[in-house]
Structure formats: structure tokens, C-alpha cells
Structure 1
Amino acid sequence: MGIQEIIKSHYYKLSKGQRRVATFFLEKPEYVSMHTAAEVGKCLGVSETTVIRCCYSLSFDGYNQLQKFLKEHLIGLNKSSLGEFLSAKQPLINRARFYEQTMSQDAELINETSKNILQSSFSKATKLLHNAEVIYIIGFRSSFIPAQWLYFTLNLLRPNVKMIHTEINDLFRSTTDLNENAVLLAFSFHRYWEETINFAEISSKKGARIIAITDSDFSPITRFSTIHFKISQKSQSTIDAMPAIISFINTLVAGMTAQFPEYYEEQIRKYDEIEGKFLFKQ
């Protein structure tokens, strides 16, 4: 069981101060593993006692055991998404009909993800996407793949869709245009890139609505999201979770078009006309 699962299973019984501490454990495991309970408490504005009590509430024997657990956890995180992906597939390689078993695993993750979705959250998200004046999309590293797919698809269907890039100037310029009429779609998976979380925090402060697509109900970005959706995973590999991610965002786009079918059908017709003029001489 990882730190996310441990915190999730004990979260309901934590005090308000202990919940802040537990969130810090999740967001800053490197800092916690290298600093004392007193230093963690000072960062959060809580007492050393609160930090230690939080450890007990999470079923650790004390702060030292938590530190040891986090260090072991961090060693595991050093394994890349590609490494996790290959490890998960290795046991299946020599089996008959390898491709069928691999694709069945993908189908299971898609099914599990669909069961995690709340109807109210899905309806709210699709309405936000339809009504937004501008949609921003952010996703770095392995999350760039679904972010780019979503950017391409939404651009076919509606105006004012913008992709956020890693360059400092682009990040800064985008934050100046954020307001309550904007929606940010943010992809954030394990390793939780700080740029994505920081941009979500700024967006939230400016009144933008944030739809987060992530791997845990307790991932750092959920603190700033209006709505978040959890993608099921068998391992900490965003690559392995990609079929479920793409399936979900495809469904999200379909839900958006259901808000006003006639409008989106007209957008597709216009796109087909323009594309035809470029491909064929009249």
C-alpha cells in the first residue's frame, strides 16, 4: 500500500491540522524524508506534536517509521513510467494470445474508470466545457499525449482552445488572461509536475474553473480543482493508463457535444468544407 492509499484510508479520522500535515506528506515526500517533525511543523504553522500525532493516526509507530516508509516509496518512484509499463507487460509476453490479454487489461481499466465517475460531476464538467469562453489545456511529459489529443479535438469543435506550454513566457502570458469565464483542463499524474499544480493554483485564484484528470482523489491538484476525475491504474505508469485516459476524455468531449448537438454538427460541417478545399481542387 502506498502513501496515497494509507492517507485515503485514514483521512476521515484526522483532525483539520492533521489533514494539512497528511497532505504535506503526499505533496513533499522528499522534504519530509530529510527533515525533522519540528521542521515540517514549522513549514505548516503547526506544532511538532501535531505532526507526530498525524503519523500515529496513519498507523505508523512514529515519525521515524514514516520517514523510512517515504524513503522506500521515493526509491520506487525513481522507476520511470516506461519501466513500470514494461514490468507490467513482462509476465504476459510468453502467454498464448498475448495481445488479447493485454487489451483485456486495458478494457478492465476503462471499465473501472467509468465506475469511478459521478454523474453529477460528469454533467457539470461537460456544461463547463460547452459554456466556457476559453478553454486552457495543460499536461507535461507523459501527460502531454492526452493533452495534445484533447487540444486537437476541441479545436475542431469550438473556438478559443489554448494549449499551455512549458516556456516561462507562455505560462506567464496565459495566467494574465485567466478569469471566471475560463476553464482549465489539467492532467496531473504521479510525480505531479510542479508547473501544472502551480498553474492550477493561479487559475483557481483568478476564478477559473478547473477540471483535473488525475490518478488519485488525494493527488496535489485536487486541492485547486472544481471537479476531478480519477483514472484507474494497476501501476504508477501513465503510459499503461493511456487507453483509459483517452477513453475518458473522448467521452468527455462527447458529453460536451450533447449539450448543443446542432451547434457542434454545424462546426463539423464547416470543418469538412474547409478541409475538402485544401485536399481537392475544385
Structure 2
Amino acid sequence: MSLGVKSYKAVWDRIAAVREHAFELVDESQDEEALDRSGRENAPFIVNGLSIGPSDTVLEVGCGVARLGRHVAPSAGHWIGVDVSGEMVAIARERCSALDNVTILEGPGDALPDLEDDSIDKCYCHAVFIHMDKEDWFAYLREVRRVLRPGGLFYFDVWNLAHDLGWLRWQMERALYGSKTDRPLHRNQFSVPEELKLMVARAGFELRHLAETFYLQAVCSVPDPEQRVGTSQREAEDAAMGVLRYTEGDDRFFASVLAKRLAEYGQEPEVQLPPSER
């Protein structure tokens, strides 16, 4: 059901006005303990995948309540979180109040006006673009390209319609929102590999790594004409980026969750599910 609002800010402010609703929509966590555990378990994938270290200024686009940022920040020199929702930003600032290397900003939802050109070393954006129209997340791609330094890395992900589980998630979206007037602004949206590759290139990035799981998981970089990357260094980077990739175990878990949700709507999966773990 639509929330009756017509901007990303209004949608997420409405949701985050109740703290527990913010936690649930961000990660399906029911309370602070569950949210903190989820962030603590998932942050190392970002830290290790992007090789984040104490000399890095790191940006999270769509930081929400700092589920990840609270646990990424201790590995960085400076961590900056940006979110469109003032309500989310307030919760994130409270949750990160004990960290002295954190800045959390409220942004307009498609730009990074408070950040200077070439000011960021590493950036990530997890499970955010899936809730945005393509025109808007492409605008963010161009903004991240602007603020990243030459050689800087950017990780982001979107639903992969070309993967069976991505299709299954789209089937659930169709079951949830049958008519156009029912579709909320923050609904899940989908892409395919060739589309993502084109948008990354048009935004001025070099695509360094793409995992075609149920999410399209991309790591791209700002070209640096002065940087010469040897084969061994590129192999090491590819291995590091590979830790971001979802696994077959993740496939089984999400398939089970989605199949149960579809059953609630009286639907059978339109694709073959991965085999259950014995």
C-alpha cells in the first residue's frame, strides 16, 4: 500500500518517525540488539572488500540508521554517512555518538552538495538503489564519481532481474502491488547486467568487479592515468572484492523467505528454487 507521499525524504521520514519501524524496514531487525548484531556481522564484508584502512575517508550513501556505518567507521580514518531522511540521520547520529571520526549529513536524495570534488577514498551504497528510480540512482552515480578521488573505489548493489531469485523477488513485488496506483515510491526495483554496465560507464567509472548474484554487486573505480596496476595487484584486489559476493547459502536462505512470502499470496514460484541444504 502506498504511504501517500511523493518524495524519498517524505517516505523515509514517515517510516523512521517510529524508531522500531526504521529498524525493521532497514534490515527487518526488531530491536537495537538485533540491528547491532546485523551490522557487526555484515560490516567486515565492506571493510575487507574495499580494503578500508585508517588513512581512508569513507562515504556511505544512504546510511539510514548507521546499521553498517557504526561498525565500518572504526576501520576508517573518517567515515561520512549521508541520508535523505532527517529522521534516519537523527537516529544514526545517536547510535554513532561514541565515535569521534564520524560525520552524518542529511542530503537531497540525488546529490552530495556538502562534499567537495575528489574528497573521498572509498564509497559504498548497500540496498539503497533498489528503492530508487533509475534516473535518481544514476544521478547518485555521477555524484559519487565527482567526489571520489582518482583511483577511489565504489561498491553498490541492485536487484538482478536476470537471476532466478531476482525474478522471484520481482514476482513478489507484482503480488504486493497489483496496480500502478498501489506502488509506493520506495518499492523494490530491478536491473540487468548490461544496463548496469552501461550506466557505470556513462557515469565515468571503470567497472572493476561485478558479481551477478541475486543482487548485481558492482565495484567500480575512478580512472587514474598515473596509477599503474600490475597483474598481481589486480588479482589481490579481485580476491578482496570477491568477499562481497553472496554465496549459495545466501541463495537458499532468500529463496526460502521469498517462497514463503509468495505462498501467503497464494502464488507458486515462477522459477526453480535452489535445492535445500541437506
| Structure with bigger gyration radius | 1
> Higher strand fraction: Structure 1 or Structure 2?
2
> Higher helix fraction: Structure 1 or Structure 2?
1
Q: Report the TM-score, using the length of structure 1 for normalisation.
A: 0.29
